[in-house]
């Protein structure tokens, strides 16, 4: 092995993704099994040392509190080499104790890992500024609005120096397998995949999902290149002729490829992509509707509202009102965790600390 044994501190946010958490831990556990040695260890952390409720409603016990974990930094045999923030689909409010721990971890040269909404917690500290970070596509629009200094990408996972990030789900398995590859090269990682019956393992920067409306994997390189251009230019749409020319295709050729592979014209596909981005901003941000319209390439709020209503069967304001009402009514298993988080924040603010 090229490095000392690795100890991972896994901090669980309220409403964390159990799938992503278990995928990360399982990659390490299987690596130990293949190596026939306890090379990788992990310690599970919560704010107060109490069990944490996941997004699916299951509660996971932990090993220690955040305060106790911070006290272990720098202690031989107890200090971790990797700090992991396990999030879910809902970014939580600012947690100053967590931010203090993250800053001390970075000062001590630990790798920082953000899973799903855990990337938001790292970004809130400024420690991700200038770094490439993978963000889940549903969280991506609000993330780029909040953290313009972070090079956010819609990849399965990214590794930029000592900062690791993944979109969640089973991408956590792929990302944590990279730690094994760094230590033992591909043969051991391949055996881990065999035990996990993982047919394919994504590399850093690989797409986290199929293109919008794609029913199966797309193998047409020119089509993917044009779709990626569309994704990069949501706020200022690029003319189809320019995108076609960059792929050395004619406009008519591009239209035929889109129709065959996706069942939509390029113009309609681009519009729906921009509307999806706007929809996510409406649901997950507090930006005014007019700013969302401009951020998604619409020339006016009225034009945006008309296109949005035709696609979603309600106006942007109605969609936002419905989302707010769902959160107030406690829709979904995440509600209990969010209510607890709100109480924690209220108590912290009330204490004046």
Asked, for residue 12, whether it belongs to a domain, the answer is: yes
- Kindly give the interhelix angle for 266-284 and 221-232, rounded to the nearest 10 degrees: 40
Eight-class DSSP state of 16: B
Report yes or no: 117 and 43 within 8 Å, Cβ to Cβ: no
pLDDT band (50, 70, 90) for residue 217: low
Q: What is the pLDDT of residues 317-349, one digit of tens each?
A: 999 998 888 767 754 444 444 444 444 444 433
Residue 47 belongs to domain with CATH number: 3.40.50.880
Residue 243 belongs to domain with CATH number: 1.10.10.60
pLDDT band (50, 70, 90) for residue 160: very high
| 157-160 and 163-166 strand pairing | antiparallel
Higher pLDDT, 260 or 175: 175
Print the domain residue range for 141: 6-195
- In the chain, what percentage of residues exceed pLDDT 90? 64
Asked, for residue 186, whether it belongs to a domain, the answer is: yes
Asked, for residue 27, whether it belongs to a domain, the answer is: yes
Q: Report the mean per-residue pLDDT for the chain.
A: 87
Within this chain, do residues 190 and 256 fall inside the same structural domain, yes or no? Answer: no
Asked, for residue 133, whether it belongs to a domain, the answer is: yes
Total domains, the chain:
2
């Amino acid at each position: 092995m090229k490095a000392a044994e690795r100890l991972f501190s896994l901090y669980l946010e309220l409403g964390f993704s159990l799938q992503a958490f278990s995928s990360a831990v399982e990659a390490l556990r299987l690596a130990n099994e293949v190596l026939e040695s306890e090379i990788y260890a992990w310690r599970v952390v919560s704010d107060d040392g109490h069990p944490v409720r996941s997004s699916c409603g299951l509660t996971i016990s932990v090993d220690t509190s955040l305060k106790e974990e911070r006290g272990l930094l720098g202690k031989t045999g107890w200090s971790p080499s990797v700090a992991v923030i396990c999030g879910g689909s809902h970014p939580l409010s600012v947690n100053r104790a967590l931010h203090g721990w993250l800053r001390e971890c970075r000062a001590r040269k630990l790798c920082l890992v953000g899973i799903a909404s855990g990337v938001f917690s790292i970004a809130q500290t400024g420690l991700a500024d200038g770094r490439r970070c993978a963000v889940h596509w549903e969280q991506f629009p609000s993330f780029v609005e909040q953290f313009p200094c972070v090079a956010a990408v819609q990849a399965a996972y990214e590794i930029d120096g000592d900062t690791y990030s993944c979109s969640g789900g089973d991408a956590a398995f792929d990302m944590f397998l990279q730690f094994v590859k760094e230590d033992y090269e591909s043969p051991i990682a391949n055996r881990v995949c065999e035990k996990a019956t993982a047919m394919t393992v994504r590399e850093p920067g690989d797409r986290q999902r199929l293109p919008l409306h794609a029913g199966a994997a797309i193998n047409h390189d020119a089509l993917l290149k044009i779709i990626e251009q569309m994704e990069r230019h949501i706020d200022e749409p690029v003319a189809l002729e320019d995108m076609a020319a960059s792929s050395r295709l004619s406009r008519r050729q591009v239209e035929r490829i889109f129709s065959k592979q996706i069942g939509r014209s390029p113009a309609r596909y681009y519009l729906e992509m921009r509307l999806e981005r706007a929809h996510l901003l409406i649901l997950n941000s507090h930006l005014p509707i007019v700013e969302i319209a401009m951020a998604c390439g619409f020339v006016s709020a009225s034009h945006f509202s008309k296109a949005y209503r035709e696609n979603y069967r309600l106006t942007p304001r109605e969609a936002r009102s419905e989302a707010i009402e769902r959160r107030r009514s406690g829709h979904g298993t995440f509600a209990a965790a969010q209510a607890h988080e709100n109480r924690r924040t209220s108590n912290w603010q009330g204490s004046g600390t």
